[in-house]
Amino acid sequence: MPTTRTIYLDDRHNADAGKIQVRGGGRHFKEIVLDRDNYLRHNGAKDASRAVPIEFLDAAEYAQDRLIDRIWYGGYEGNFSYGKGDHYVTLFAPHAHVDAAVEALCAAELHADFQPLHALGDAVKVPYEQWLTPGERFLVRGVDYDTTTSAFRRYLRHHGKRADLRMNIRAEGDTVRIRPVPTQSARALHDCDPERHPLPPGHSAV
């Protein structure tokens, strides 16, 4: 069974017109690459305007950040390595969103329509900010989150660490109790200089 699927951007399957490759990335995601390398080699000297517009790169980055976060939310524990530029534009997408990622890259490349990339980013965004707000809450698998409980706990700790929050997580079966509070280091920095070191949104120094 092939691990790479190729979508040509030209009806004649001419690689010089550009192509999109969907590559196997394991059980958590696929790698989707807009390959413009042959296209630029063939046309670049004659048509310098074929550089990727900055709006394209910005929209791809918007989608990519949220897609990668969704993959981590789904339980993947690894990192991602990719570049961006005129020759290749790469997205990593959970299997359920691969077709949408392909369509978004096609729309951007063929029609300079970057809205599908923004829409894809919006569609996959995980609402982690609401889980970092103050107070104690109980989150139920299948209602509040749909990944495994162990993956969800790792995900919460990841975002808590980035926000200087201690998450105070306790799991019982399919229920996760969380109570985010600022870390001691975050409180100490805030006490020294509140303007330069504000606490996470909604949290107080008390």
List, in order, residues 6 or more apart from 137 with CB less than 8 Å away.
131, 177, 178, 179
pLDDT, tens digit, 9 for 90 and up, residues 69-124: 999 999 999 999 887 788 899 999 999 999 999 999 999 999 999 999 999 999 99
Among the candidates 124, 147, 176, a domain finishes at 124
pLDDT, tens digit, 9 for 90 and up, residues 139-193: 999 999 999 999 999 999 999 999 999 999 999 999 999 999 999 998 899 899 8
Shared domain for 22 and 103, answered yes or no, is yes
> Residue 141 to residues 28, 66, 124, 175: CA-CA distances in angstroms?
19, 21, 18, 6
Q: Are the C-beta atoms of 129 and 163 separated by less than 8 Å? A: no
Residues of the domain holding 145: 128-192
Higher pLDDT, 43 or 20: 20
> For residue 82, what pLDDT is reported?
82
Please report which residue ranges of 44-97 form alpha helices under DSSP H. Answer: 54-73
> For residue 22, what pLDDT is reported?
96
157, 161, 164, 169: CA torsion to nearest 10: 20
Overall domain count for the chain: 2
